Amino acid sequence: MYTKTMFLKNFLLFTVTSFLYGGIPPLAHAGKSKSSKSHKKASLNKVDTTPNLQDTNVFTLTSEANMYQNSLYENFDIDFSSTGGWDIQLSTYNVPVYRDPDIVQPFQADTFINVSKTFKINQSLGVIVGSQNGTYLSASSSPMQWQNLDYSLALYQVNSFISIRGGMYWANHIMSGTTDVLGYLPGITLNLIDNTLTLQADYYSGQSSLSGAVVNLQYQAKYFSTYLGVGVPETNSGNEFYGILGFSLSSKGVF
């Protein structure tokens, strides 16, 4: 009998294989980015589809710097991991510290509320359903408009060393910077040193302002974590490579 557990495992195998080998064509319905070789976008529109699954009743404050070739942006968020699988996050992304005036940047000080719910099926399998909504407080070429991203992922803990995830996302045309987009988002986490050092990679399909891969190496201490990574743009998306440096402070064990 083809059970729910078998379906989730096969779905995860499909999405993660797509991520690792790049043999599956993009599912996004977006066309090419509006940017050109002579007038590129500076940064991606940021999303977060990986809530805190390890803690409950914990606040986490995060500051992250994104370093592009000629620009520097800061991202800030406060996250509350509640009981019952709920996670609530308030974020402000792409706050310009320095920006090349010749580069188009439609997304500045994007402020979002991100709410997700994790359903545990068993010790190894789970499902995340979430939605990120907000607007940009500063726009270079257009008035404030509502941005929306809805996502769902299946989670599979292979063993103590590796966990994989895969699912779908839908973003409206304001969020994607092109058209309404349906895409897939596989990811993988490697627990290099138990509860101390992890390597995490996530990929967003398509050729929009969301598209590309993000890879982070994170060091976790009792009350804080720090991570270093890179953002890799999707081909023909008009996005740039960027470096990542982040720091998080947790209330775990404090109150």
pLDDT value of position 109: 82
Specify the pTM: 0.80
Q: Which of 228, 174, 245, 179 is nearest to 207 (CA)?
A: 179
- Flag whether pLDDT at 2 surpasses 90: no
pLDDT value of position 65: 96
Q: Which of 6-10, 196-200, 219-223, 244-248 has the lowest mean pLDDT?
A: 6-10
pLDDT digits (tens, 9 = 90+) for 127-140: 999 999 998 765 55
Q: Per-residue DSSP letters for 114-171?
A: EEEEEEE-SSSEEEEEEEEEEEEEE-SSS----EEEEEEEEEEE-SSSEEEEEEEEEE
The residue type found at 78 is I
| CATH numbers and ranges of domains, the chain | 4-250 (2.40.160.40)
Residue 81: φ, ψ to 5°: -95, 105
pLDDT digits (tens, 9 = 90+) for 6-57: 545 554 544 444 444 443 333 333 333 333 333 345 456 788 888 888 778 8
**33 contacts 178 by C-beta, under 8 angstroms:** yes
**185 contacts 166 by C-beta, under 8 angstroms:** yes
The residue type found at 96 is P
Looking up tokens 């993988």, which residue turns up? 188
pLDDT digits (tens, 9 = 90+) for 115-128: 999 999 999 999 99
Q: Please state, in angstroms and rounded to a whole number, the distance separating the CA atoms of residues 107 and 94.
A: 7
Q: Taking the CA atoms of 22, 27, 28 and 31 in sequence, report the sign of the dihedral they define.
A: positive
